[in-house]
Structure 1
């Protein structure tokens, strides 16, 4: 597997941002210091510190929630018209477009993602998603409802519904695709008229803090968007428990999602969870392997496999199994491993030394439990959190690498010994997760039967992606509650009020 050492320099604008102070954004003001301990932001490609950010504690959480509460209950945001909210979102989208290079470089520096196939997409996606959600404020409306005659004569009535914002929304963003996940949550909340307390992950807060500057330039009223990076067990827990938070949206692990539910019980706040996955990638005997194998490599190792929709369980029919395994291994070996800022890199480092150690543990587990390591899996002897992408063959349901979400570049290939679609579906659905899946076949009947039978929130036919902004992202079973993206994402930030008038 080829390695790249060279790291191009970042732009002067990004360097200037890194050298500036990185305070929290609370009630329209930049607040220095935090009671949750400083966050040392590490470049995963070098292991070196690139910035220090104050971590929010209970004091900052309380202040941010109070600001959001005031802005929602009594500020100009509450009476602002739908068109004005849409204009602010469009202004922010334009500012994102004008600052794409800085945002891309900050994503690379914090996450390690390659510039060419990931980080360059982040600000484009952010811009386009903001513009998508800018179209929604003027489309949110209630209904005039039919009603039966009132049983008491002379008591005619009129019945209608209103859609109203739920209130203060706390949003907890993961580290794997921070800018995109931030906009995916901010967009529908703001379109609905909510106010927000955003908590970026402690490893990757810089793009959100830079976005805070753009939010101020766009002219959002004070307190509408508050940005408070911090540790999950401190700031995240405080937000989940807070009685003045009306809604919480969390993206992350299923384990933490269950803790969010427990913490949210105090005031029965609304909860949206986008959690883990162990997505099946089902390859039928008639699949076009010239297309299927390159997509298996591209999607399987996207973001160093640190993404919830990663097709880490590859269920491959026996007739094409050997050819697929050989092609997948060759594709993994062809990836260019190196720092994300280098334009030739196609596989960057893992986000942290801790994550690398965790993934290495899964590689050892696969070996110990009898899977055949075809290629990769070893840590590189160089600075940074680099490892070679692994391919395991002869895997089965009893192995941890097949059952558990690894969140690292480790793909497992399982041989399908049957032609029976019902039995294939049993194997595809043999997981506690249900976020994503895909089927690869040239037979439309096979495609439709399998896509209908896979129990997950997204199913691709000759495609394996995170859905589309017009669709929805979310899962069955332990992959979460509710949906992100699309019209359905707005519902999580709206209450339906029924109004009945007698006349």
Structure 2
């Protein structure tokens, strides 16, 4: 770095946020109903946003349909769409401080994490899919007929994208970027708790040159989401959220014979074998369950430790976890911010109380941190839990880690696979053969070895079992937003 490049970055400050409107057909609409958006670090309102009615949703779908049918986006060449998507990536980087401030305020996400992960990944999504947009093509097929046969990959049409509260930027653009790269139009419904970055991204997409109606944003709660699910003008649903709501989403989409991608709950196991590099393993363990205050579908809230290391690991964790910086998300040194809402905090505390009632031992944490009225939970490590406890079997979605010992590799795999979920898994070992062998046996959409949460737009992820189906990221996601058409031309 040159002296000019190494200037100290100014601290991100809490922004003043204007009331949020609906974005439909390239226009901002005030809406007729509104709800508060809460700052999770204080428990106080940030601003209000519109709640889309069924009529608003229908208007958004109709705008997306008109934009699709006009061909102004789908009819562009892949290279033309790529230029626009690359400009989106450039604008995300140019307006990074603005996005960091809004996302951190809305979610309670530490600004350092938001800058390094959320905003950087968002730019990466559009950059990656701008490249893939240029290579979206079919193939000529050699057939034993007097005919010329080829395939075309075409966009599906209008995509209804429904996203959760924990990673608003990343999880929305993981859908919007490939959908746009393939030539689709989008109606996006962000989570009612954290809608602000979706509105800012609508502004950025427009500035980059995405035509009016191609991306629409309808904010609101369950009623808004249900209207989008059931609108007959939607051709595909892409949903990330809880398994319970995902099951309902699949039922509605199935009744209408619409394709659907579901990225649902998780409850991943992180296995520490007795040959692990313990320093690296402990770092991966802590990252796996405190990252984003544990509000991460691919978190590692279940730690499985080889019996010879069990007491040692518990002792190290008790000291290390208690020292992880927790506090104001706008402090650059903060690692753990508040949970995104009071509902999430209450749920996590209920599971901790259940663990105590069952006789488990809280090694560290286990209580709310009283800080400025925010929704803070001290990161919690729990030992002495049984494999069939709800605390182990169910998704807590907070900075809570359960620790269980295992005797051998078979028991470790059995325990890891023993929940209804299968989104992610991890193992810590220095034995390369074991790494490959165990990774193959774990029922999960992605497996990390000797680290956690190594994600890139090129690497697909998604679930098995009750963690859903379909894949986000990579060329696999792009395929999910296209349909294949065969053309056979007689040569007679």
The two structures share one fold, judged by TM-score above 0.5? yes
Structural RMSD (CA)? 1.4
Q: How do 1:487-498 and structure 2 match up within 5 A?
A: 487-498=475-486
CA contact (8 A) 1:105 1:119 kept: no
The equivalent position to 2:299 in structure 1, one of 310, 324, 327, is 310
Task: Report the CA distance between 1:424 and its aligned residue.
Answer: 2.2
Q: How do 1:463-474 and structure 2 match up within 5 A?
A: 463-465=451-453, 467-474=455-462
> TM-score, length-normalised on structure 1?
0.93
Task: Report the CA distance between 1:25 and its aligned residue.
Answer: 0.8
Deviations 1:164-222 (A, max 9, x none): 00110000111101111111111100000000001111111111111111112112111
The equivalent position to 2:285 in structure 1, one of 283, 290, 296, is 296
> TM-score, length-normalised on structure 2?
0.95
The equivalent position to 2:67 in structure 1, one of 48, 68, 71, is 71
CA contact (8 A) 1:466 1:473 kept: no
Question: How many positions carry a matched residue from both structures?
Answer: 481
CA contact (8 A) 1:394 1:415 kept: no
Q: How do 1:45-444 and structure 2 match up within 5 A?
A: 45-149=41-145, 156-231=146-221, 233-382=222-371, 383-416=373-406, 418-419=407-408, 421-444=409-432
Partner of 2:7: none
Partner of 2:466: 478
Report SS of the residue matched to 1:319. Answer: helix
Cα 1:10–1:449 change in 2 (3 A) is: closer
Task: Report the CA distance between 1:78 and its aligned residue.
Answer: 2.9
CA contact (8 A) 2:13 2:330 kept: no
Question: What is the CA–CA distance in structure 2 between the aligned matches of 1:329 and 1:102, rounded to whole Å?
Answer: 37
Question: What is the CA–CA distance in structure 2 between the aligned matches of 1:131 and 1:476, rounded to whole Å?
Answer: 28
CA contact (8 A) 2:26 2:216 kept: yes
4+ residue stretches of structure 1 with deviation over 2 A? 8-12, 117-121, 421-424
Question: What is the CA–CA distance in structure 2 between the aligned matches of 1:323 and 1:103, rounded to whole Å?
Answer: 41
CA contact (8 A) 1:104 1:120 kept: no
Task: Report the CA distance between 1:10 and its aligned residue.
Answer: 5.2
Partner of 1:29: 27
Question: What is the CA–CA distance in structure 2 between the aligned matches of 1:359 and 1:26, rounded to whole Å?
Answer: 37
CA contact (8 A) 1:241 1:266 kept: no
Question: What is the CA–CA distance in structure 2 between the aligned matches of 1:327 and 1:9, rounded to whole Å?
Answer: 33
Report SS of the residue matched to 2:57. Answer: helix
Deviations 1:96-139 (A, max 9, x none): 11110110011111111111234442111111221011001110
CA contact (8 A) 2:12 2:111 kept: no
Partner of 2:4: none
Residue ranges of structure 2 left out of the alignment (5+ in a row): 1-9
Deviations 1:44-67 (A, max 9, x none): 000111111101120111000000
Report SS of the residue matched to 1:459. Answer: strand
